[in-house]
Amino acid sequence: EKMSGAGEKISYIRSTFAPEDGRCMCLFEGESAEQVQRLNDTAGLPYSRVVEALDLTP
């Protein structure tokens, strides 16, 4: 809400958890990887990396 309230267009879409290796992948719609990193940093959410991805849900 803080970033959206500041006029930044970013939305959380969903997360996928892979229990076998303990990884969680979170999908956001935003303007850049840096913007998604800022959101996670501001929220205090840990991450290893942010990469561009395509949502191929039919």
For the chain, percent helix, then strand, then coil, each to nearest 5? 25, 25, 50
Q: Given the structure tokens 């998604």, which residue do they identify?
A: 36
Q: For residue 4, is pLDDT > 90?
A: no
Tokens of 52: 């561009």
CA–CA distance, 3 with 23 (Å, rounded to integer): 26
Q: For residue 16, which phi and psi values (nearest 5 degrees)? A: -125, 125
pLDDT band at 48 (very low <50, low <70, confident <90, very high): very high
pTM tops 0.95, yes or no:
no
pLDDT band at 41 (very low <50, low <70, confident <90, very high): very high
